Amino acid sequence: MKRLLFIFFIFLTIIILPFSPIYAAKAPVLPVKPIKILLVPGHDSEVWGAQYGNMKEATMNLTLATQIYNILKKDKRFEVYITRDDTSLSGYTKEFADFFTQRDAILAFEQNAKNLIQAKIINGNFIVKINPPHHTVTEDVALRLYGFNKWADENKIDAMVHIHFNDYPRTNAWTIGKYKGFVVYFPDGQFANSKESANLAADIFMQLHKKYITSTYPPELGGLIPDQKLIALGSNGTLNPSVRSVLIEYGYIYRFQTKKSRETAYVNMAQLTATGIKNYFFPK
């Protein structure tokens, strides 16, 4: 009799439990709308960033970003945008080339954010910290970076991924430097979009670290770095809490001297980055 009752109990468990409210609550709930991803290949044809020999960072950034774009575009769970391509004279997609014509609106957006953060600093509600050294950008470059943030806020972007290759100041820029490795930046903890940006950064970091070492440049040791000053990450509080933002320096430009090494890196880095993004939004 006990044996029969035990078998009956197991039968009920198998048949009824999957339909119970407790069981159903644990089932993953997929988003109704696609996740919006904005890819920002750093620099452009006018200000191309780092250079080593005939390799320009802007070109490398765009090549890698395009491969990430193509991977994510095939996944219907994502709606993917990219700021630059090879189809326009300006280098920027029509959507962003048109958006940059709103110069006064972008400048007002930038100035308002700076005023608000300055008031917080004066009131003691925002603590200025020492950040890794970064190049000072021109007014036009800053305008575009703040423009990306304004566009991301207005278009309810879920995540911005800035793609870069690294370099550092030295006496002769045409010699091979001593540093190597990647680093992923995310917003400082005082910014509203910091927590989820950090989680996204960590998922991408874990994938890239499977194949690549982290930066050996002292200010970037550890490879996962919070930052206050990078406009790309929402400096001055220019990104909404829902807009995750990370900036990836995939490696030092002089480490990719041959065409074959670059092509191999693009394939591997694109796949690892896309996997990190997918793991964050759709954890297994």
Q: Which tokens go with 174?
A: 């045409």
pLDDT in tens, 104-139: 999 999 999 999 999 999 999 999 999 998 888 999
pLDDT digits 0-9 by tens, 221-240: 999 999 999 999 999 999 99
> What pLDDT is attached to residue 3?
45
The H-or-E segment that residue 56 falls in is strand 55-56
Strand intervals (E) in 159-269: 159-166, 183-187, 224-227, 244-252
Q: What are phi and psi of 166, to 5 degrees?
A: -100, 165
SS3 16: helix
Sign of CA dihedral 255, 182, 155, 105: negative
C-alpha–C-alpha distance, residues 244 and 139, integer Å: 24
Q: What is the separation, in whole angstroms, between the first and last Cα of the chain?
A: 42
Secondary structure element (H or E) that encloses residue 69, with its range? helix 57-73
* pLDDT score at 233: 98
Which amino acid does the sequence have at 188? Answer: D
* Length of the chain counted residue by residue: 284
What is the per-residue pLDDT for 135?
Answer: 84
Helix (H) or strand (E) holding 82: strand 78-82
- Give the span between the Cα atoms of 71 and 38, in whole angstroms: 13
pLDDT at 12: 41
| Nearest alpha-carbon partner for 66 in 48, 35, 36, 40 | 40
Residue in the block written with tokens 């036009």: 140
* Residues in the chain where the model's pLDDT stays below 70: 1-31, 87-90
